[in-house]
């Protein structure tokens, strides 16, 4: 059987900030149903790399090829991008409309239920804790059911119960055939949930390959 075409491919990607090299020669292929973890030192460029994958930042060298339309990419970044003056329900309604998706109240309520925010549906997002805002942002991404899901430290601000919910949703997205790229600072916990690892160190990919073959702490990687 032919191997599925990649949803995202990077070939020899490099990024500079002015004269400063952030990283170089980064290559990977994300296929349907595959989870990549991106890890590395602070300042290694993990968030920048995710923005390049999402098409929100430009690579200064190399090629970035998407196998999905822009509307098929979901990004959960450090910023929650929730509108504080809108309710949780209206935030989702706005985002669905922005992406040209028809979503009735039942679908929106179901998305909030998935992240444990049903009781806060009518509450203005500006009153939310960081964890609640993160869950609302996750509901926004999940509502779109993207083919390519890019997660930048998605567990930020989440308690243990919410993190378990997040991991269940990641597993469900993988099961339906989505490709995922997950920036993680908790390799010991998250590594078992990944197929592949990209580890950035010294302005390059210090490791790129199967998660089973990655040994945190080996060769000064972690």
In a domain, 164, yes or no: yes
pLDDT tens digits for range 90-122:
999 999 888 887 778 899 999 999 999 999 999
What integer pLDDT is reported at residue 222 of this predicted model?
45
94 belongs to a structural domain: no
Question: Which parts of the chain register pLDDT below 50?
Answer: 219-220, 222
Task: Write out the residue range of the structural domain in which residue 166 sits.
Answer: 8-83+147-211
Specify if 158 maps to a domain. yes
CA distance 70 to 163: 27
- The domain tally of the chain equals 1
Is residue 203 one of the residues assigned to a domain? Answer: yes
Q: Does residue 89 fall inside a structural domain? A: no
CATH code (residue 28):
3.40.50.300
Tell me the C-alpha distance between 219 and 174, whole Å: 31
Residue 104, both tokens: 């009735």
**Local structure of 77: helix, strand or coil:** coil
- Tokens 């790229």 belong to residue: 181
| Inside any domain, residue 142 | no
- Whether 124 is covered by a domain: the verdict is no
Asked if the structure places residue 171 within a domain, the reply is: yes
pTM (two decimals): 0.91
């Amino acid at each position: 059987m032919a191997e599925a075409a990649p949803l995202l491919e990077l070939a020899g990607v490099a990024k500079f900030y002015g004269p400063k090299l952030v990283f170089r020669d980064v290559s990977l292929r994300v296929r349907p149903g595959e989870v990549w973890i991106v890890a590395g030192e602070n300042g290694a460029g993990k968030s920048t790399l995710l923005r390049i994958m999402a098409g929100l930042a430009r690579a200064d060298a190399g090629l970035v090829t998407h196998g999905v339309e822009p509307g098929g990419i979901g990004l959960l970044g450090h910023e929650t991008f929730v509108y504080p003056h809108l309710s949780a329900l209206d935030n989702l309604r706005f985002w669905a409309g922005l992406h040209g998706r028809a979503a009735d109240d039942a679908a929106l309520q179901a998305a909030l239920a998935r992240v444990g925010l049903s009781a806060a549906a009518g509450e203005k997002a500006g009153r939310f804790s960081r964890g609640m805002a993160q869950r609302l942002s996750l509901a926004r991404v999940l509502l779109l059911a993207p083919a390519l899901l890019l997660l930048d430290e998605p567990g930020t601000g989440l308690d243990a119960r919410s993190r378990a919910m997040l991991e269940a949703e990641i597993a469900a997205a993988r099961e339906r055939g989505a490709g995922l790229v997950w920036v993680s600072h908790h390799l010991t916990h998250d590594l078992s949930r990944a197929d592949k690892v990209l580890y950035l160190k010294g302005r390059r990919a210090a490791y790129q390959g199967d998660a089973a073959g990655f040994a945190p702490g080996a060769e000064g990687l972690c």
